[in-house]
């Protein structure tokens, strides 16, 4: 009993859980907008993800998206800019070959914005397989974001972009810039990797203004411009790509190269912290890095950082920067006052007292708690009130004119933070000493003209009468105008490391007093590490950005490699590869081993334009296949110095003699579905869906048609480019059906297009009239009876006719009149005859499978060689009516080949004639007869449409079939002369008639 109770409880519990699950709502789309500040994963159970506003992934936060997830950007109320995903942290969108992640628009006519990798986003690290990555994704119908001008935008970041389908962008598919400022010039570190993507049907495939990159194994199709490359780069490699363009773009339908400025030449950046509380540097191998200022519990600290840059030859340069970190409040500001000139006493024994003032010091947040003065230079003095705001001292007698003393003030606020400042006091007799000012220290490039500036020198009580400059340290230079306030020289060249040159300025006033100052000029090497930071002081919790993008290798040249690609343009007005250069650019270009072709050798394969340097050098492009071996044709495909003397000469020899087999991408061409135009059809008509306009140049596409809306139909050859179905009934208002064609060229990606089919309202079609007689066609077709039946029926008709004619001929002694008299006699003479009969009856069965009505007239007791014969002729009717035809049968052939045949059906009323020849058995008035004749009827061939269930009359023919059988007749000679007959034949079945005889 206990076991049964336990079993009952378990069963009840399971049922309760089941009911609870049934009542739970189904998964709905997840709406996302705003800030993502914790690590987040979008799972397949959350799909689709609806982006209902801008999304920002904060620094040190990761958004991971599982394979198969669909991210749908909703339509923004601002048509000028769609919703975007901005990444300060990391985006891991890593689909799979069978389950790509899709980023798309709810309404393709209103594109979304962009996936934006910002400077602080986490770069992809191939060694640890960590960082930002977009792989096996379908990215489509976006690019409506003003600052990025692309669906995937990279601002001084290095995500991995690989194995994606990037298509239908309003602007570019992928862009790489230095910053979100569209006026900024590129300054990215490292190599952005754009690998094995299908990039098609975008305004521009890739817009690239980056420090370096690899564009490899991509397939570009139907972009107005495939690759737009603004070069301020070390090495950009465009390798093994396939580019097909139909755009009439003269300035680079395939590749546009703008050599914009001198290359920075920096191959790698490395940031390191060298002092202070440890912090985490974002992207320490990028030109820009950033960190969050640490919390120092209100204290102040200086952090030091080194930037080491390496050029392509392996040479390095390092620069250090210090960042002051304050607490919650900034430190006080110490102000020791301006430098002063103090006059010595004219008479001995007179004491001069000097008062210092720190009254200019301030701290608006916490206030100053303490002052501390100290002497740091000059003949020592005894400070009175050194811990006050205004200390004093007496000038010793040993001080003479021209002596200098330096005092430092340190102030401390209530939070314990300090600040210091210094001031100088210079002593004089009658004439105040001039103050020499050689200007600020400078850092300059090799070979530049350096101007020294002593115009800041002053004389408080007169004027400067002379300037004298001399070099005191560093490689000697030729200092010109050394006796003026602003001499100049040319910085030396050839140094690989920075060198410092020191110059001393001596000024003399109008009374002959002199003063000196020094300035240092640092001449950088060819490789320069440069750091800018803003600000150099930061409070705890603030983000500090260190920027090394100004670092440069002065001897660098951009190295552009375009190799083993297949590039083709089929528009007569296109320029396949366009080249232009700004002034003073330095580059090396290696364009070799490519298949290059233009439509019917029209347009240009190479188009050079707007070359700003005079007499540009020749650009070599050897070992390419130009689609021809005719040199005159090749020269016509190149627009260079032969066309405009300001342009470089393109040297195309030697050239390949045939197409290069290993050039181009390894990817199949991008799938591009075209489901054809919308269609209109009537019910039961064959509708053909034609996807043959889909891009399938190599015939490897896989097609899949499916119905997505409307009454279900039987779709045939749904795995072919052309599919078909039979239109369903349109009803009173018509119906609409929608079909989707999906085309794929491998297991990775596909593309779909839709087509609408409108079925018009059903027409009032003519229906079969089944109430008439058998005469419904001009053509009589014999029924398909057996040969035996036909022969037998003809034989009986012949015997009956022959006997009748013979009998009449015997009596008339003439043959010809008998042929005409016998039929008339059977109907006219037999009635008044003393040996005639007439009967009426009916029956059912036989091949007609219907009831019949029979009229028969004839004669008996016809003596023929001692035999009493009977001869009769009858007419019968078989009223088939409409009971064999389905209701609403249309009197039209079925309009499609899918109709199934229902068979042959008789309609109307069949009419037949027969003859009867019998003999009497003895003298019993009992006759046994043979019957022969024919039946005329109308037969319809029907079929049914599987799409609508309608029945159609494919044909309607009048037919004749043979009748044969036998019967018995008995003539009663009583009060009533009655005849009773029973017949059986193949058409009527069993038939009984009754009548009278005379």
Segment 868-906, tens digit of pLDDT? 899 999 999 887 654 567 877 888 899 988 888 988 888
pLDDT tens digits along 243-266: 999 888 888 899 998 887 666 778
Percent of the chain with pLDDT over 70: 87
Query: What integer pLDDT is reported at residue 861 of this predicted model?
Result: 86
In 3-state terms the chain splits into helix, strand, coil percentages (rounded to 5) of 5, 45, 45
Q: Tell me the backbone φ, ψ of residue 798, rounded to 5 degrees.
A: -65, -45
Per DSSP bridges, beta strands 867-881 and 900-920 are: antiparallel
H helix and E strand count, the chain:
4, 69
Residue appearing with tokens 């030396």:
492
pLDDT tens digits along 463-506: 899 999 999 999 999 999 999 999 999 999 877 778 899 999 99
Q: Tell me the backbone φ, ψ of residue 473, rounded to 5 degrees.
A: -160, 155
Query: What integer pLDDT is reported at residue 157 of this predicted model?
Result: 86
Instruction: Give yes or no for a contact between 662 and 595, defined as CB atoms under 8 angstroms apart.
Output: no
Q: For the purposes of burial, counting CB atoms within 10 Å of the CB of 134, is it exposed (0-12), middle (13-18) or buried (19 or more)?
A: buried
Instruction: Give yes or no for a contact between 57 and 86, defined as CB atoms under 8 angstroms apart.
Output: yes
Q: Which residues pair with 153 in a beta bridge?
A: 116, 175
Q: How far apart are CA 426 and CA 433, in angstroms?
A: 8
Q: How far apart are CA 230 and CA 235, in angstroms?
A: 12
Q: What is the DSSP string of 802-855?
A: HHHHHHHHHHHS-SHHHHHHHHHIIIIITTTSTTEEEEEEEEEETTTTEEEEEE
With a CB cutoff of 8 Å and minimum separation 6, the contacts of 349 are none
Tally the C-alpha atoms within 13 A of residue 932's C-alpha that lie toward its C-beta.
Answer: 18
Q: How far apart are CA 305 and CA 323, in angstroms?
A: 8
Query: What integer pLDDT is reported at residue 770 of this predicted model?
Result: 56
* pTM of the predicted protein model: 0.67
pLDDT tens digits along 960-981: 989 999 999 999 887 788 999 9
Q: How far apart are CA 797 and CA 772, in angstroms?
A: 28
Mean pLDDT computed over every residue of the chain: 85
Percent of the chain with pLDDT over 90: 53
pLDDT higher than threshold 50 for residue 773: no
pLDDT higher than threshold 80 for residue 93: yes
Q: Which domains does the chain have, with CATH numbers?
A: 42-259 (2.160.20.10), 442-526 (2.60.40.10), 679-759 (2.60.40.10), 780-997 (no CATH)
Tally the C-alpha atoms within 13 A of residue 56's C-alpha that lie toward its C-beta.
Answer: 7
pLDDT higher than threshold 90 for residue 718: yes
Q: Give Cα 134 to chain centroid, integer Å.
A: 13
């Amino acid at each position: 009993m206990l076991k049964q109770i336990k079993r009952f409880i378990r069963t009840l519990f399971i049922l309760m859980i089941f009911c609870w699950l049934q009542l739970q709502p189904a998964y709905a789309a997840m709406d996302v907008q705003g800030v993502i500040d914790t690590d987040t994963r979008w799972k397949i159970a959350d799909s689709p993800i609806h982006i209902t506003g801008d999304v920002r992934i904060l620094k040190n936060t990761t958004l991971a998206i599982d394979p198969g997830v669909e991210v749908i950007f909703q339509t923004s109320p601002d048509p000028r800019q769609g919703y975007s995903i901005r990444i300060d942290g990391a985006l891991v969108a890593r689909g799979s070959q069978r389950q790509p992640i899709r980023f798309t628009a709810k309404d393709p006519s209103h594109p979304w914005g962009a996936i934006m990798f910002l400077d602080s986003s986490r770069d992809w690290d191939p060694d640890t397989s960590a960082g930002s990555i977009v792989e096996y994704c379908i990215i489509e119908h976006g690019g409506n974001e003003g600052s990025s001008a692309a669906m995937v935008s990279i601002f001084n970041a290095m995500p991995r972009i690989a194995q994606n389908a990037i298509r239908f962008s309003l602007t570019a598919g992928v862009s790489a810039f230095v910053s979100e400022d569209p006026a900024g010039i590129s300054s990215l570190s490292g190599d952005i990797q754009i690998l094995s993507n299908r990039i098609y049907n975008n305004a521009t495939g890739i817009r690239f203004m980056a420090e370096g990159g690899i564009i490899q194994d991509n397939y570009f199709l139907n972009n107005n411009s495939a690759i737009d490359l603004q070069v301020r780069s070390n090495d950009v490699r465009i390798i093994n790509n396939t580019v097909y363009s139909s755009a009439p773009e003269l300035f680079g339908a395939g590749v546009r190269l703008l050599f914009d400025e001198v290359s920075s030449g920096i191959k790698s950046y490395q940031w390191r912290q060298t002092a202070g509380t440890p912090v985490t540097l974002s992207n320490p191998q990028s030109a820009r890095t950033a960190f969050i200022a640490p919390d120092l519990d209100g204290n102040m600290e200086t952090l030091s950082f080194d930037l080491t840059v390496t050029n392509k030859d392996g040479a390095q340069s390092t620069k250090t920067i210090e960042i002051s970190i304050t607490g919650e409040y900034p430190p006080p500001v110490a102000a020791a006052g301006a430098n002063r000139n103090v006059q010595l006493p004219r008479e001995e024994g007179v004491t001069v007292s000097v008062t210092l003032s720190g009254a200019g010091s301030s701290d608006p947040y916490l206030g100053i708690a303490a002052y501390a003065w100290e002497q740091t230079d000059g003949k020592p003095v005894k400070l009175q009130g050194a811990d006050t705001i205004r200390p004093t001292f007496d000038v010793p007698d040993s001080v003479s004119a021209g002596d200098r003393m330096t005092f430092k003030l340190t102030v401390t606020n209530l939070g314990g933070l300090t600040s210091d400042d210094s001031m100088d006091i210079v002593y004089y007799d009658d004439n105040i000493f001039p103050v020499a000012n050689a200007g600020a220290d400078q850092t300059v490039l090799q070979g530049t003209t350096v101007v020294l500036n002593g115009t800041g020198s002053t004389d408080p009580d007169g004027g400067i009468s002379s300037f004298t400059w001399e070099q005191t340290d560093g490689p000697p230079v030729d200092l010109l105008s050394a006796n003026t306030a602003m001499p100049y020289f040319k910085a030396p060249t050839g140094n690989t490391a920075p060198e410092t040159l020191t110059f001393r300025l001596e000024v003399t006033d109008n009374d002959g007093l002199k003063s000196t100052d020094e300035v240092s000029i640092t001449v950088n090497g060819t490789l320069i590490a440069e750091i800018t930071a803003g600000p150099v002081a930061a409070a705890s919790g603030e983000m500090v950005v260190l920027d090394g993008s100004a670092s440069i290798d002065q001897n660098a040249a951009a190295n552009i490699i375009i190799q083993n690609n297949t590039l083709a343009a089929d528009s007569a007005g296109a320029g396949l590869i366009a080249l232009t250069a700004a002034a003073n650019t330095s580059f090396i270009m290696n364009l070799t081993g490519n298949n290059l072709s233009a439509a019917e050798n029209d347009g240009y394969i190479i188009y050079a334009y707007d070359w700003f340097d005079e007499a540009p050098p020749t650009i070599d492009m050897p070992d390419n296949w130009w689609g021809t071996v005719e040199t005159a044709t090749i020269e016509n495909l190149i627009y260079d110095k032969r066309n405009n003397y300001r342009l470089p000469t393109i040297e195309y020899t030697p050239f390949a003699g045939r197409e290069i087999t290993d050039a181009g991408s390894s990817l199949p061409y991008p799938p591009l579905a075209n489901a054809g135009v919308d269609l209109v059809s009537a019910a039961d008509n064959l509708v053909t869906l034609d996807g043959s306009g889909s891009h399938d140049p190599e015939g490897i596409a896989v097609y899949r048609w499916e119905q997505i809306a409307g009454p279900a139909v039987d779709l045939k050859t749904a795995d072919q480019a052309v599919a078909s179905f039979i239109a369903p009934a349109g009803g009173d208002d018509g119906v609409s059906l929608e079909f989707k064609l999906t085309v794929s060229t491998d297991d990775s990606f596909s593309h779909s297009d839709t087509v609408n089919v409108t079925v018009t309202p059903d027409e009032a079609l003519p229906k079969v009239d089944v109430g008439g007689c058998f005469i419904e066609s001009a053509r009589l077709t014999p029924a398909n009876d057996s040969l035996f039946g036909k022969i037998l029926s003809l034989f009986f008709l012949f015997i009956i006719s022959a006997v009748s004619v013979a009998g009449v001929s015997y009596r008339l002694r003439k043959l010809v009149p008998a042929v005409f008299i016998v039929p008339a006699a059977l109907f006219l003479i037999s009635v008044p005859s003393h040996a005639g009969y007439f009967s009426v009856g009916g029956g059912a069965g036989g091949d007609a499978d219907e009831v019949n009505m029979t009229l028969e007239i004839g004669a008996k007791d016809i003596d023929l060689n001692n035999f009493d014969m009977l001869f009769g002729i009858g007419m019968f009717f078989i009223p088939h009516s409409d009971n064999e035809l389905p209701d609403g049968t249309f009197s039209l052939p079925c309009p499609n080949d899918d109709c199934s045949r229902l068979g042959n059906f008789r309609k109307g009323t069949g009419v037949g004639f027969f003859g009867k020849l019998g003999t009497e058995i003895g003298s019993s008035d009992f006759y046994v007869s043979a019957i022969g004749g024919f039946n005329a009827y109308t037969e319809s061939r029907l079929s049914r449409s599987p799409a609508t269930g309608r029945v159609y009359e494919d044909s309607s023919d009048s037919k004749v079939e043979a009748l044969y059988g036998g019967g018995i007749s008995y003539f009663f000679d009583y009060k009533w002369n009655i005849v009773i007959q029973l017949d059986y034949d193949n058409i009527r079945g069993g038939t009984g008639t009754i009548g009278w005889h005379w």
